[in-house]
Structure 1
Amino acid sequence: MEKHRLNILVLVAILNPLSHFSLSYSFRNCVENPTSNHTRFDCMYRYEQNASAIVADLPPSAKVLNISVCAVSTIPSGSFSHLPNLTVLRLHNKNLSNIDKDAFRNLFQLQIMNLSSNRISYLHPSTFNNLHSITNLLIQDNLLPSLSQAVFADLENLESLILRRNLLSSFSVVVESVAHMSKLTTLDLSFNRLPSLHHKARLPPSLQRLYLGNNRLKTLGCKTDLFSRVKVLDLSYHKNLSSKDFRGLDLGSITYLRLRSTSVNVGELLNVTNLTPQHMDFSGLGLNNSLVKLCKLLRKHVKTHAIRKMILQSNGIHNLSKATFHNCPSFTNILDLSQNELKTTGCLQFLRDHQQLQIIKVEHNHLTKLESCKRTDDLSFPHMKEMSYRYNRILLVSGFAFYHTPNLTNLELNINIIAYLDHKALHGLRNLKNLRLDNNLLTDVYEDSFEDLHSLNTLNLRNNRIAVIFNRTFHSLQKLEILDLGGNKISQLMPEAFSGLSSLTKLYLDRNCLKKIDGDLFGKLHNTLQVLDLEANNIRYSSMFENPPFVKLTKLLDLKLSGQLPRGIAMLPLDFFRGLSSLRSLWLTNNHIAFFGWNTFDDLLSLEFLVLDNSCVGVTQLKPGIFKNLRKLKHLRAKNLGIRSFSREVFGNLTRLEVVYLNHNVMQTLNSTFLEELLNLKYLDVEKCPLSCGCLNTDLQNWTNSTQKVQLAHIYDLKCPDLPNSDFHDFDTKVCYLHIEIYFFASTYSVSLLLTLIPLLYVKLYWKFKYSYYVFRSWFGEQWRRVREQEEDCEYDAFVSYNSEDEKWVLDTLVPNLEGNGSSFRLCLHHRDFELGRDIVDNIVKAVYSSRKTLCVVSQHYLHSEWCSLEIQLASYRMFDELRDVLLLIFLEPIPERQLSAYHRMRRVMLKKTYLQWPGRDCSDPTKAQELFWKKLKRALRSSNNRSREEEEGSKEREEEPQERAEEREHFINERQKDDEPYYLMP
């Protein structure tokens, strides 16, 4: 059977290239990018040491594969042969050491391969065979001591080869291995162990960028035409290289030459080569004391008398005077003075002769102050567009510090220690578009700090110490689109703080000390604001409020409220997000929300991305319908939210969901039927959820092993909390299915048990069942419904229940004394008043409920009659149900109590009611006793809960009552002395 099943699966795999999905659309070691349509996969932080084990279940549609930070040490032959469409393969994982022959077989479409940061010490000559499409190969940060000449033989389309940070010691071997590459443009051999550039073969004619810095070159030792076609050449950090090593070399094509930290003399180099001076990077050549000399030399060799780029980094320059660059050719584009020892640049007087300059960089120096330049009216740099003073020690920016550069568009003063920015420091910069003041020590910005920056587009004040934003601080920044105030200590925003920001689209206030959100304040930005970041503030609500804070921000697209301190937002009040009808992304990560209002998200009609990670207090009971209006939501992150159930009642309206993260929740079950209803769902992550491996999740396991459209991330890592050493995807479900023999056993056992019990029940409870049957039958036929208030309209005064053996006494004695002799009682008798053709039970029920009383004539024959038993039980049921005196018992003969024990219904009546005993022949005075009997019976028949019956008897009978009672009592005492049987009188 198993073999047959395997053959079927193989056949399906042959017929359908995506047949692996029919088994399970989840992967043991990888996760598919939810939006990639089965093309992008990440396989990170895995413990498998064999690459083929990681990618074995990936589909052939894969194009981008990232196997990073894994324990993979070996790539066996043919590991990726089932992935013919792969175009990008990243294997930088720090442990890879062995690549087998033909490891990359069948990767004909591969274009980019990254083998960086591993322990590869050997590459087989056929490692990259048939990889004709590769354009970029990165093997940096490995342990390669050498290369086979044929290792790159099939990489004729390779454009970039990165071999930096290896142990290569032969430049000639490398050149021989790449000489055939007609499209190679970049070769990086930096940080290796090359002692010289001796070579036998020629570099590819297409090579334009060659990086050889940080090797062990003591001499070049190369042919004169080695660099004849190279445009970018880096030979930095070789202290033994001197100018004579370049003698005769053809450097005519060089557009950028970097010789940092070498012993090359610029003048000598220009004399012994055909290098164009303006294409040389002069960084790290120790030119501190020879800048004047350098300028003269450059003027001599530069034919155009202009240098576009002048890079002078790391030359130990301490001072710059007016004469420093006086003799230099004109600087037109960039002057880079970074990483020197400058303490001041003044007002750029040293550039008096270079007023065409557009960009100046003075980064990583020791500047402490930017002085005022208003008095240098004769000095101006109208073409200056960009200035960067990053990574200095600037403490103070004086007023009019940039007066001499009025046309600046980009100014970078970030990463300093600026504590004071003069009110007029930025005066005159009307064309400035980007200003960076982040990572300083500013505590205040004023109303006039930015008043001249009418063209400013981006203002970055992040990571300062600003506590208050005063009124009209940004009033003149009408073109400002991005304002970054994050990472400060802002606790107060004045009412007019954002006045004038009529074009602002992005506002960052994260990591401040705001305690509340001022709806009126942010409401002034309602026409333009699209992004509002309020992460990591002190916003907290513990009760409801009246004014929603975002009600006016109808164009806001992205709102971040994550990580409020110290313990997060305590609750989300009702209508908290009112007005955000255009919002698409909402971030509520890392809060401790104890209460989600039932209409909290009702106004977020356009929301597509919602993040609720780590935003709960214990187990969260989300209210049904809380997401009812989020019909456009596509991406939901609810990691560690304390969700107990992913139910239809809560999440049922999210019909457009595509990506759902539910990992680290407390769900024990998932409704697979509901998951199937989410037709757009592509990605589901339930990692670290304690899903039970029991019968409740049998359908879920079947769904996880059969779904073809939803990726279940990390499902193979999901363990069974209730079954040690078991995995969720394959826990045993046989116990959850009952076999046919179990059904047969259960049915036969039930029938046998029923056949055994029926006779016993018949013997013991026959009368109970029969009585119940008739009671329910009468109730169902609606024959029982009689209204108490209609009692006076009853057809009969009494229904006489008796056995046929006692019929003579009833007809000859009872009836004449109650209906004759002047009595007005109307009795209901079987033979006389029952309706012909009607069921006897219906006749009995009608008789009981059509009579005010039921008169039972009890004898030994009566006790053995089934119909008599039914009649007395129906009468007693009526008595207990209506709580009225409707039952009278006449005992024709003495009957011991033990004979009544089987009739508990009658016994219960006897314990609660009195009864009459017909005087027998053994009575001392039968005539007098019978006369007393009839008086008591007639009075009992007349008694009722309604007083009308008593009143109609008249006052005369009431006057005679005491005398009758006395006579009864005397007779009772006499009879009681003779009779041992119980005898009761009517009270």
Structure 2
Amino acid sequence: MPGKQRGSTFSQLRLCLCFLMYCWVLADPVCGYFLKNCTIRGNLSDPSNMKVLCYNRNLEVIPIAIPRKVSNLDLAMNKVSKIEKLDFKGLSNLKILNMPRTQISQVENGALGYLEALQVLGLAHNRLTTLSDYLFQGLANLSLLHLDNNLIATISSSSFQTLSSLKTVNLTKNNLYNMKEVQPIVQLPHLQELYIGSNRFTSFQSQEISNTSIELRLLDLSRNPLGVFRITADVLPYLEVLDIAYCGQLGRMEWDVLNRSFLSNVNRLNLSGIEMSFKRMGMVLQTVNSSLVHLRMQDLLNGSRLKVKALTDIAVQISPILQDSHNSFFSTIKSPTCVFQDLKELWILKLGSNKILTLNDAFMNGLHKLETLNLAGNKLSSIRKGEFKSLTSLKTLLLYDNQIASMEDGAFEGLVNLTELNLGSNKITQTDIRNTVIFSQRHKGLSHLPINFLEGLKSLLSFQAGSLNIKDLHRNTFIHTPRLWFLDISKNEFTALTPKLFRPIPRLNSLYLSKARIQSLDFLIAANLSRVTFLQVSKNDITVVNETVLQSLPALTYLDMQDNPFTCGCSDAWFVQWMESDNQTQVVGAGEFTCNYPADLKDTKLLDVELQFCTVDLGLYCYISTTCLVLLTLVASFAYHFLKWHVIFGYYLFLAFLYDTKQRNKLTPHGCQYDAFISYNAHDKPWVLRELLPELEGKQVWKLCLHHRDFQPGKRIIDNIMDGIYGSRKTICVISHRYLESDFWLFDEQKDVLILVFLEEIPTHQLRTYLSWPRAGEQTGVFWQQLRLALETKDGSAEENPILSGVQAL
């Protein structure tokens, strides 16, 4: 009875717990771990890391069962045109809400007010046109707001009023045209970054945005039709980054900064593509020259060709030297004392895509702190000696996509700290480098890179020399750059490379060799590239990948071999197996590798070809061999234990078989030496000599072997007997009582070991061929006839000679 009571109590308790759990689920239905059309990542017990991913699900409304503890919600790339007031109710823990490309055109007032913990809000690439008064109400913790790529033309004066924690606002590419629209944003107490590029602003004037200083650190005004940039008060004392690239109207953008100290903290300036007279551009640089560390001046266009000139009272002055009403480019950098010498703090200078023809000593002096110089995409035709000698801190030099045809000895003199050099896509046809002068066909590129081309660049980490039409690289090309980490020599015409080329650069990590007409990767085997993690050899002529090649690259994590003419057969079977099983290396586009050979498999996917028969499964063979060995051991053990004497007998029987085979192999090619070996007792010798020999050797002409006549003197008796038996086609035993009692069977041991035991009467037809000598007075003719027939028979079974089977009682 007590047991029953305890059981009943337990059942009631379990039922009660189930009921409570059911009620809890009903009361809080959104705390589950499953959500239709979305993916939940994270743990319910750790809401700070829980993410709900609903991007690109064709959703037309916000899901209603989002877990309340979620901290990150991604609804990007859906079709939610309107955000309803209750869509985010209960999501008070949400910190990140991402909704770009969702076709949102309307957000009801108060719809975002439930997101009191929200810090990041992404509404980019939607269809919003107006930011209303109460749009962001309740988002006191919001710090990052993305509204770029919308259609916003109106911003209510109080829409940003409650965003006291906002630090970054992105309004790029909208329809704003009046700077007063962003005034409420600029005056936020903690705002640091404002992106308002690609709008319709025609002027930027300090009095339009604020009357007091603001904490703004970054201001992006790029790609606006600014006609005026005017600062008349110190409202931007903390500004560090100013981007006015591609601003201006018809080259007449006005720059008016009343005091140089107003922008004294600007250290990054982008003037690329700006439509401004070169005189005013000089004024811009003069304003910020003392603090500037990053200057970008790419794609400069104007109504005149450009000459850069350093003056004594300003950092840089730009003035036209050739008037042209239609075409002009930043073509010449020229100065008697060096153009940029007063930009003493400059770290980065970008002058790409400016059609510069010559450098003219622009970098011979000054710029001692410059670390990055971008001259790519210009019209430079040559590099003279000492052109960059003052740039002792330079780490990155980009000269790709020019028209460089010659380089003098000492072209890179002074660049002791250079780590990255990019000379790709040039037309180098002559290099006047010490002890080396190389010529090739005009505009066909540099066929052989000089041995000392990189001499002096001991700190070089990155070298890019693609599209130079190089056909060969000397084994000592990189002996001057032992620290090289990145090498790009793609789009050349090597066909083959030597392993010794890479041995001086054991630290190499990334190697680009695409479109180099390489037919094999065998050169990598002895190249000492144990640190290479990235290898690109796409679009070459590689047909087979050797196993040893990949074993020589133990650190490889990324392999690009796309667009190679693979041979689909056993030669690539290992490579296929490796791609499918290796967990370290990502083989890019492996599923698209196609066969080029043989013809019947052309254009077939390499991974689809049946190559299992080519591979040897060593594990399976080891398993089978081990299993067989164990079974054999077990069988041998049981056999020896239970069938010991049978095993011993079988062993000796096997030895006898081997001996018999050996003796038979000694026979002459023409047959046996004797027709019969005669075994008899010495007491029967008279009968053998008087009866047997005359008949068989005399009348029937058989050749017999007799021990007293034919045995070899001095040879062991056993050997003579064996030779006699195996040298004769037949053996005739003359059986008599004396024969059975004799020692002939035992040779010289004199022991009676011959015991004939007949357990039953043996029928005569089951006995082997035997003949009995006729009794006294009986005729012997039949006996000799039967003996002749016996000697004439072959070595077949008795059934083949029925006349000799059974007893012939004579």
**Normalising to structure 2: TM-score of the pair?**
0.60
Measured against aligned partners, the alpha-carbon deviations of 1:377-412 in whole angstroms (never above 9, x if no partner) come to: 9985555554322221223333x1334635351322
Give the alignment partner of residue 496 of structure 1, picking from 452, 455, 458. 452
| Alignment partner, residue 390 of structure 1 | 352
Distance 1:106 1:513, change over 3 A: farther
Question: What is the letter of the counterpart of residue 519 of structure 2?
Answer: I
Does 2:376 correspond to 1:426? no
Distance 2:742 2:88 in 1: 106
| Alignment partner, residue 166 of structure 1 | 126
Measured against aligned partners, the alpha-carbon deviations of 1:334-387 in whole angstroms (never above 9, x if no partner) come to: 7776665344553344x6534399xxxxxxx95342243126799855555543
Distance 2:430 2:783 in 1: 99
1:198-209 maps to which residues of 2 (within 5 A)? 198=156, 202-209=161-168
Does 2:515 correspond to 1:560? no
Check conservation: 2:354, 2:377, Cα contact below 8 A. Answer: yes
What secondary structure, in the 3-state scheme, does the structure 1 residue paired with 2:768 have? helix
Question: What is the letter of the counterpart of residue 192 of structure 1?
Answer: N
Check conservation: 1:196, 1:220, Cα contact below 8 A. Answer: no
Higher normalized contact order (CA 8 Å, seq sep 6+, divided by chain length): 1
What secondary structure, in the 3-state scheme, does the structure 2 residue paired with 1:407 have? coil
Check conservation: 1:81, 1:107, Cα contact below 8 A. Answer: no
What secondary structure, in the 3-state scheme, does the structure 1 residue paired with 2:134 have? helix
1:185 shift after superposition: 1.8
| Alignment partner, residue 867 of structure 1 | 767
Give the alignment partner of residue 538 of structure 1, picking from 481, 486, 493. 493
| Alignment partner, residue 567 of structure 2 | 617
Distance 1:500 1:386 in 2: 22
Q: Which moved more, 1:524-533 or 1:140-149?
A: 524-533
| Alignment partner, residue 137 of structure 2 | 179
1:246-645 maps to which residues of 2 (within 5 A)? 252-253=213-214, 255=216, 261=224, 284=247, 286=249, 289=252, 291=254, 294-295=256-257, 298-299=258-259, 306=264, 308=266, 316-320=275-279, 332-333=291-292, 341-342=301-302, 343-349=304-310, 352-355=312-315, 366-374=328-336, 381-398=343-360, 400-403=361-364, 405-407=366-368, 409=370, 410-423=372-385, 425-467=387-429, 471-472=433-434, 489-516=445-472, 518-522=474-478, 524-525=479-480, 527-540=482-495, 548-550=499-501, 552-553=503-504, 555-558=506-509, 560=511, 562-563=513-514, 565-566=516-517, 568-570=518-520, 572=522, 577-578=525-526, 580=528, 582-585=530-533, 587=535, 589-590=537-538, 591-593=540-542, 604=552, 607-609=555-557, 611=559, 613=561, 616-621=566-571, 634-635=584-585, 637=587, 639=590
Distance 2:235 2:128 in 1: 30
1:439 shift after superposition: 1.8
Check conservation: 1:262, 1:285, Cα contact below 8 A. Answer: yes
| Alignment partner, residue 120 of structure 1 | 80
Q: Which moved more, 1:579-588 or 1:219-228?
A: 219-228
Distance 1:335 1:99, change over 3 A: same
Distance 1:668 1:150, change over 3 A: farther
Measured against aligned partners, the alpha-carbon deviations of 1:424-445 in whole angstroms (never above 9, x if no partner) come to: 5435444444322122121222
What secondary structure, in the 3-state scheme, does the structure 2 residue paired with 1:397 have? coil
1:105 shift after superposition: 2.4
Aligned residues: 634
Check conservation: 2:225, 2:248, Cα contact below 8 A. Answer: yes
1:205 shift after superposition: 0.9
Check conservation: 1:556, 1:580, Cα contact below 8 A. Answer: no
1:817 shift after superposition: 1.6
Check conservation: 2:465, 2:488, Cα contact below 8 A. Answer: yes
| Alignment partner, residue 151 of structure 2 | 193
Question: What is the letter of the counterpart of residue 538 of structure 1?
Answer: E
| Alignment partner, residue 941 of structure 1 | none
Distance 1:104 1:673 in 2: 51
Question: What is the letter of the counterpart of residue 459 of structure 2?
Answer: S
Check conservation: 1:243, 1:263, Cα contact below 8 A. Answer: yes
Distance 1:98 1:445 in 2: 62
1:877-888 maps to which residues of 2 (within 5 A)? none
Question: What is the letter of the counterpart of residue 102 of structure 1?
Answer: I
Check conservation: 2:425, 2:466, Cα contact below 8 A. Answer: no
Distance 1:337 1:141 in 2: 33
| Alignment partner, residue 877 of structure 1 | none
Gaps of 5+ in 2: 1-32, 318-326, 437-442, 596-604, 622-649, 699-703, 708-731, 748-762, 772-781, 805-810
1:207 shift after superposition: 1.6
1:864 shift after superposition: 7.6
Measured against aligned partners, the alpha-carbon deviations of 1:456-496 in whole angstroms (never above 9, x if no partner) come to: 3432222222356664599xxxxxxxxxxxx9944202333
Does 2:672 correspond to 1:798? no
| Alignment partner, residue 105 of structure 2 | 145
Distance 2:85 2:350 in 1: 49
Check conservation: 1:610, 1:637, Cα contact below 8 A. Answer: yes
Check conservation: 1:540, 1:564, Cα contact below 8 A. Answer: no
Check conservation: 1:468, 1:491, Cα contact below 8 A. Answer: no
Distance 2:346 2:451 in 1: 38
Does 2:111 correspond to 1:156? no
Give the alignment partner of residue 733 of structure 2, picking from 828, 846, 867. 828
Gaps of 5+ in 1: 1-59, 63-74, 358-364, 475-486, 645-660, 678-772, 801-809, 844-862, 872-887, 916-987
Measured against aligned partners, the alpha-carbon deviations of 1:832-880 in whole angstroms (never above 9, x if no partner) come to: 5765799x9x99xxxxxxxxxxxxxxxxxxx983323599xxxxxxxxx
Distance 1:99 1:516, change over 3 A: farther
Measured against aligned partners, the alpha-carbon deviations of 1:519-547 in whole angstroms (never above 9, x if no partner) come to: 3444x258544444444443335xxx9x8
Distance 1:460 1:442, change over 3 A: same
Distance 2:472 2:770 in 1: 80
What secondary structure, in the 3-state scheme, does the structure 1 residue paired with 2:373 have? strand
Distance 1:894 1:552, change over 3 A: closer
| Alignment partner, residue 878 of structure 1 | none
1:178 shift after superposition: 2.5
Give the alignment partner of residue 817 of structure 1, picking from 686, 691, 709. 691
| Alignment partner, residue 105 of structure 1 | 67
Check conservation: 1:527, 1:555, Cα contact below 8 A. Answer: yes
Measured against aligned partners, the alpha-carbon deviations of 1:946-974 in whole angstroms (never above 9, x if no partner) come to: xxxxxxxxxxxxxxxxxxxxxxxxxxxxx
Measured against aligned partners, the alpha-carbon deviations of 1:554-604 in whole angstroms (never above 9, x if no partner) come to: 7344363644544x324727xx632617444473744544566786667x3
Distance 1:317 1:87, change over 3 A: same
Distance 1:519 1:472, change over 3 A: same
Distance 1:246 1:643, change over 3 A: closer
Check conservation: 1:102, 1:129, Cα contact below 8 A. Answer: no
Check conservation: 1:138, 1:163, Cα contact below 8 A. Answer: yes
1:612 shift after superposition: 7.6
Check conservation: 2:386, 2:411, Cα contact below 8 A. Answer: yes
Check conservation: 2:426, 2:467, Cα contact below 8 A. Answer: no
Question: What is the letter of the counterpart of residue 411 of structure 1?
Answer: L
Distance 1:438 1:103 in 2: 55
Check conservation: 1:330, 1:353, Cα contact below 8 A. Answer: no
Distance 2:574 2:208 in 1: 82
Distance 2:741 2:86 in 1: 112
What secondary structure, in the 3-state scheme, does the structure 2 residue paired with 1:798 have? strand
Question: What is the letter of the counterpart of residue 147 of structure 2?
Answer: L
Distance 2:330 2:423 in 1: 19
Give the alignment partner of residue 187 of structure 2, picking from 219, 225, 228. 228
The share of aligned pairs that are identical, in percent, is 14
Check conservation: 2:456, 2:480, Cα contact below 8 A. Answer: no
1:654-733 maps to which residues of 2 (within 5 A)? 663=607, 666-668=610-612
